[in-house]
Amino acid sequence: MTIINVSNLKKAYGANVVLKGLDFQAQEGEIIGVIGKNGAGKSTFLEILMTIKQYDAGTVFVFDEDIKALSTNRLEQVRKQISVVLQPTQFYQTLKVQELLRLFKAYYKSPIDIETIIADFKLQPHRKKHFDKLSGGWKQIVSLAIAFLSQPKLLILDEPTTGLDPHMRNILWTYITDYNERTGGTVILTTHNMDEIELYCDKVMLIDNGLNEIFDTTEGILASGYTSVNAFYLEKVSI
């Protein structure tokens, strides 16, 4: 089943044309990594998929719905099936971690027990800390915990592992892959860590000069003669 279908997507900020006709598809259960240098338009692309950013031309279908033609109510229904981790991660600063989880549990009407989430994400020592007192890494973990509260069909992560130590990265990826295997949910993420792409992603899309220069399976890229996704990236993308 096709979860996302993007065709000839264009987006500019004034004179700065970021996306110049991008095509993209995501099927149910896929983990897709979106890569490209800083300012390539990765976050813009993800925010369009999240339905929170306007675009200039092209078509974007999410769950078979043309997001440009949706009513506010229908858009809310689509958003219910999407969960996100934004960059930078921000929530109400003065709420404690456990309060944030309770609030978002109410937003998503989630059946998941808060205590389970706290235990799963090892948030016990931080549950009574205010969100703004957490380190960047723990903010990311809380953000991911909240994202999983909604049991989404589509998970969109904007640089989710930035600032995380290897253990945290490992925990985070364990959750992402487990979620993917258990629910068949689709994951789309951006990252600058090519090892993560190679280890965990089914497909890779390289955005360069506003276009999806490469959109292929990870195996396909490695089979074309590159020793690693990192080597592929370094060759394809100039500074």
Partner 1 sequence: MLATQLKYDLLMFSRELFYLVFTIVVPPVTYIFMGQLFGDQTYAGNLSYAQTYTPSYILLITFTTVFFAFGFDQVTHRTTGVEKRIRLSPVSKSTLLLSSIIRSVIITSFGYLFVYAIGMLLYDLQFHALNFITAYGFFIVLNAVLLVIASVIYSFFNEVKSALVFSIVIFQVVIFTGGFAFPISMMPKFIQIIADFNPLYHMNNLFIAVWNDRLIVDSGALISICYISCLVIAALIILHFSNKRQI
End-to-end Cα distance, the chain: 37
Count of residues that bind partner 1 according to CB under 8 A: 33
CB of 72 to partner 1, least distance (A): 6
Position 134 contacts partner 1 (CB under 8 A): no
From the list 104-112, 121-129, 171-179, 192-200, the region that binds partner 1 by CB under 8 A is 104-112
| Tokens, residue 52 | 């929170």
Of 10, 102, 127, 236, the one binding partner 1 (CB under 8 A) is 102
Position 22 contacts partner 1 (CB under 8 A): no
Binding mask 27-56 for partner 1 (x = CB under 8 A): -----------------------xxxxx--
Residues 6+ positions from 51 with CB-CB distance below 8 Å: 62, 67, 70, 75, 78, 79, 82
Position 128 contacts partner 1 (CB under 8 A): no
CB of 124 to partner 1, least distance (A): 21
CB of 89 to partner 1, least distance (A): 8
CB of 27 to partner 1, least distance (A): 23
Burial 69-105 (b: 16+ CB within 10 A, else e): ebeeeebeebbeebbbbbbebebeeeebbbbbbeebb
Burial 6-19 (b: 16+ CB within 10 A, else e): beebebeeeeeebb
Q: Residue 131 or 215: which CB sits closer to partner 1?
A: 131
Helix (H, G, I), strand (E, B) or coil at 43: helix
Helix (H, G, I), strand (E, B) or coil at 13: strand
Of 108, 173, 200, 226, the one binding partner 1 (CB under 8 A) is 108
| Tokens, residue 23 | 């095509």
From the list 95-103, 168-176, 183-191, 220-228, the region that binds partner 1 by CB under 8 A is 95-103
CB of 194 to partner 1, least distance (A): 27
